[in-house]
Copies of this chain bind each other. A is one copy, B any other.
Amino acid sequence: MQMKEEVRKVKLASPRMAASTGDTRDLALRMMGEALEREQEAVFAANRVDMEQAEADGVAAPILKRLKFDEGKLRDVVAGIRDLMGMKDPLFRKQLRRELDEGLTLERVSCPIGVIGVIFEARPDALVQISALCIKSGNCVILKGGSEARRTNKKLFEVIRAAVQKAGLPENCMMQLEERSEIRELLDCHGLVDLLIPRGSNAFVQYIMDNTKIPVMGHADGICHIYVDKDADLEKAVPIIVDAKTQYVSACNAVETLLVHRDIARALLPRLKAALDEKEVEIRGTEEVSAIIPCSAATDADDSTEYLDYILSVKIVGDVQEAIDHINYFGSHHMDSIVTENAQTAEQFMNLVDSAGVYQNCSTRFADGYRYGFGAEVGISTGKIHARGPVGLEGLLSYKYRLYGNGQIVGDYASGEKQFHFREL
């Protein structure tokens, strides 16, 4: 219950945060960047303790790499903060301005969502990026980072929160949870938290979605496809598939299933097999595939499995429509790519595949806020309600309608005494 009271303080701060000026929020970003540079030694020291503990606990190398917070990462996040400062204030933008009748003016103005809870992996730079995005967009934020980064996060949060308060933002515009057990309490804060953004494993995100009434933005799994059309350029197809599968095998935008047009299978598969062998990728194919290249046998389960591993399932299809139907049925609406030189086939694929990202002739791994030029991202959404795909500043906004009158009542319009005349201003 005590935590809920803390969350309520954040909620109460949110209207003032929403009404803060762009200058104050940019000042907060500047002071945040300066404070991080000034107190970097204390942050690095905390991170060294986290790293030692993680190593002693036998944490895997890729996780250690993300856990580390050093001069290089500090430079990157501070550069990211400066990029955000340079962007136009996303709040108070008039998205619509319409005269409904003489002296009755409607405006739609962008505003923050309110209080956003972000649960993220043990990556201290993520804490800084998420905080900066929320400050720029006028949102209050409740942060819960991976426990391996506990000490680093605690120090980072102290530094950032102090800087932000000094800049004049509301005292309770940021809050950090330190215990994993507090997540359960956070999930009960319906009405106080406006949006939850969980990042992490499929099972974890699903757990969050199943256990809260707070709207959740995120993605549970990422079963991404590449379809190699009969009009594909194989010089492009092979490197794209290898990159999409192996460049970062545990990413949600790595390819899991390859669909190949029957007419090009005999040309593509042997070349692809040679390239994937070099990266030690296991191919799981249908009978038709195994008649062309040696591979292990795919089962029905492979159609809906996110391997996050050096495994690729391969299937042969008769045409682009069969590929589209397969993707819409088995995919996770995250992102899917077609390799073809035929613009018409590409358009058909891109119009009919119901995913946040539809690509032609490039790797699935481009689905990322940084690579889209959003500066940073707070997550990826596979939902179609609100933001979709990589979520940057814009996905953290809502809007409100303002109506300015001089005494108008609805009765006069209902009786027909007055009429609306809509005029864009």
A405-425, CB under 8 A of B: which get 1 and which 0? 111111101100000101000
Q: Which of B235, B362, B422 contacts A104 (CB 8 A)?
A: B362
Give, as a whole number of angstroms, the nearest-CB distance from A258 to chain B. Answer: 15
Give, as a whole number of angstroms, the nearest-CB distance from A114 to chain B. Answer: 6
A351-363, CB under 8 A of B: which get 1 and which 0? 1111111111111
Residues in B neighbouring A351, C-beta threshold 8 A: 15, 18-19
Each complex incorporates copies of this chain amounting to 2
- Per the bound structure, the CA–CA distance linking A100 and B369 in Å amounts to 12
Contact call A410/B363, Cβ cutoff below 8 A: yes
Give, as a whole number of angstroms, the nearest-CB distance from A102 to chain B. Answer: 12
Are A113 and B14 CB-contacts (below 8 A) given A371-B410, A405-B361? no
Give, as a whole number of angstroms, the nearest-CB distance from A66 to chain B. Answer: 15
Contact call A384/B324, Cβ cutoff below 8 A: no
Contact call A106/B372, Cβ cutoff below 8 A: yes
- Per the bound structure, the CA–CA distance linking A261 and B14 in Å amounts to 24
Residues in B neighbouring A373, C-beta threshold 8 A: 98, 100, 106, 420, 422
A193-222, CB under 8 A of B: which get 1 and which 0? 011000000000000011001010100000
A-B contact pairs, 9 of them (CB 8 A): A15-B352, A100-B372, A114-B384, A239-B409, A240-B408, A360-B403, A362-B404, A363-B411, A371-B410
Q: Other CB < 8 Å A-B pairs besides A100-B371, A114-B354, A363-B408, 8 of them?
A: A106-B373, A244-B409, A244-B410, A360-B405, A366-B405, A385-B386, A388-B401, A390-B401
A contacts, CB < 8 Å to B: 12, 14-16, 18-19, 98, 100, 104, 106, 113-114, 194-195, 209-210, 213, 215, 217, 233, 235-236, 239-240, 242-244, 247-248, 324, 328, 335, 346, 348, 350-363, 365-367, 371-373, 383-386, 388-390, 398-411, 413-414, 420, 422
